[in-house]
Amino acid sequence: MIKKIAILTSGGDSPGMNSAIEAIVNAAIKKKLEPYLVYEGYLGLVNGDFKKVEKKDVKFIGNKGGTIIYSARFPDFKKIEVRKKAISEMNKKGIDALVVIGGDGSYMGAAKLTEMGIKTIGLPGTIDNDISSTDFTIGFHTSLNTIVEVIDKIRDTAESHKRVKIIEVMGRYCGDLAINAAIATGAEILSTSERKLSEDEIIKQTKKLREEGNRSIIIIVSEHLYNVSELSKKIELKTGIETRSTIIGHSQRGGIPIAEDRILAKRMGIFAVDSLIAGETGVAVNLIDNKLSTKNILEIIKMKRLPRKELFNQYDLIK
Ligand code: ADP
Ligand code: F6P
């Protein structure tokens, strides 16, 4: 039987993390549990930075961007002695279980705590959509909307000035934000780690598109693939077309969560509370074909990313 549960957010923040916190706290109280918040991810766990909360403490937080309990990248958590300190802080407060909202790195931290006897459950909180066990992660759709809004604006000015625009989007090593943004905005060229184009190929396609009469040409690329400022100069030099680059950056991670992310986060949060009460541990919540489920975290981490072949084929038909 669990009584006290703690919640933390870890790794890169994502819109909707607050919605998850709000739902977990409310559902926990309804189920006669005592919810605690942990500040700054695993760092707060080690420092004993916990706060017992009531319904009023989380009222309306689900409509806010970022995470009200803050996040951190805390590599020291990989050390067993650091995790032992975290467990001792949890024991001091009598915490029975921990909800970890974060990406696959944060999942790894939860799995390590599970091995050390702590009850844990994960929620996929990342804009990257790079957790293979779930169709969507919390924050992905809000981030995608931000990207689409930015690219639509860039299209306006690129069309006015007859320019090429390279736009770099986030996603770590997952191209889901890029491919979905390309479909949504009608970008003419796309390069992601799943289907990386050489710089020469980008230049060749750009020339051809201009010859075919396109005034503006939008090139979406995933982060980590090119130096977009250098690439922009090369395109200009080799094609004679004015080219500019934009790195969208961290604005992709902020902002109020759209309804889709709020609902996903709340559904997953409630499911996490029920799963913990049912005795599950070392698992994370997924949404597959609109159905919630749990899966062992270590199995999730080992899963291969799907190559998104159908999406790329569909994009090829409309670009
Ligand atoms: P994300 O959760 O978004 O993938 P990170 O990869 O930065 O982000 O991981 C977030 C945090 O999870 C790390 O800063 C660290 O505290 C913890 N973590 C990551 N990998 C491990 C690991 N192998 N063992 C223990 N903790 C880990
Ligand atoms: O995982 C979310 C993410 O925004 C990735 O898309 C990106 O690669 C990374 O975090 C950036 O991390 P930081 O905010 O530490 O620069």
Kindly identify the ligand whose nearest atom is closest to the C-alpha of 107: 1
The per-residue DSSP string of 6-67 comes to EEEE-SS--TTHHHHHHHHHHHHHHTT-EEEEESSHHHHHHHT-EEE--GGGGTTGGGSSS-
Pocket flag, ligand 1, residue 282 (CB < 6 Å): no
User: Is the same domain home to 106 and 172?
Assistant: no
Residue 25 has pLDDT above 90, yes or no: yes
> If you measure from the C-alpha of residue 172 to the centroid of ligand 2, how many angstroms do you get, rounded to a whole number?
6
CATH number where 286 lies? 3.40.50.450
Mean pLDDT calculated for residue range 162-166: 98
Nearest CA to ligand 1 atom 9: 105
Question: Strand pairing of 34-38 and 50-52?
Answer: antiparallel
Among protein residues, the one with the nearest Cα to ligand 2's atom 3 is 12
Mean residue pLDDT across the chain: 98
Give the pLDDT score at 290: 98
Whole-angstrom distance, CA of residue 313 vs CA of residue 65: 34
Q: Is the pLDDT of residue 305 over 90?
A: no
- Any idea what the CATH number is for the domain that residue 223 is in? 3.40.50.460
In sequence order, the 6+-apart residues with CB closer than 8 A to the CB of 169 are 147, 177, 178, 181, 220, 221, 222, 223, 248, 252
| Residue 290 covered by a domain | yes
Tell me, using a 6 A CB cutoff, whether residue 78 lines ligand 1. yes
Q: Is residue 314 part of a domain?
A: no
Catalytic residues: 128
Query: Are residues 153 and 294 located together in one domain of the fold?
Result: no
pLDDT, residue 42, reads 98
Contact 272, 101 (CB under 8 A): no
Is pLDDT of 51 > 90? yes
Domain boundary among 215, 237, 253: 253
- pLDDT-derived band at 234, boundaries 50, 70, 90: very high
Number of residues assigned to the chain = 319
Distance in Å, CA 109 to ligand 1 centroid: 6
118 and 9 inside one domain: yes
Tens of pLDDT, residues 237-284: 999 999 999 999 999 999 999 999 999 999 999 999 999 999 999 999
Cβ–ligand 1 contact at 250 (below 6 Å): no
| Ligand 2 pocket, Cβ-based, cut-off 6 angstroms | 12, 103, 126-128, 170-172, 223, 253
Is residue 119 a part of any domain in this protein? yes
| Domain assignment present for 309 | no
- Average pLDDT on 198-226 reads 98
Does residue 306 carry a pLDDT above 90?
no
In a domain, 280, yes or no: yes
d(CA 197, CA 117): 46
Q: 28 pLDDT band (50/70/90 cuts)?
A: very high
**Ligand 1 near 11 CB (within 6 A):** yes
| Cα of 308 vs its chain's centroid, Å | 17
For the stretch 128-159, pLDDT in tens is 999 999 999 999 999 999 999 999 999 999 99
Helix (H) or strand (E) segment spanning residue 151? helix 140-161
> CA nearest 238: which of 196, 213, 215, 204?
204
For residue 73, which atom of ligand 2 is closest to its CA? 15
Residue 137 Cβ < 6 Å to ligand 1: no
Token digits of residue 128: 């990257």
286 beta partners: 293
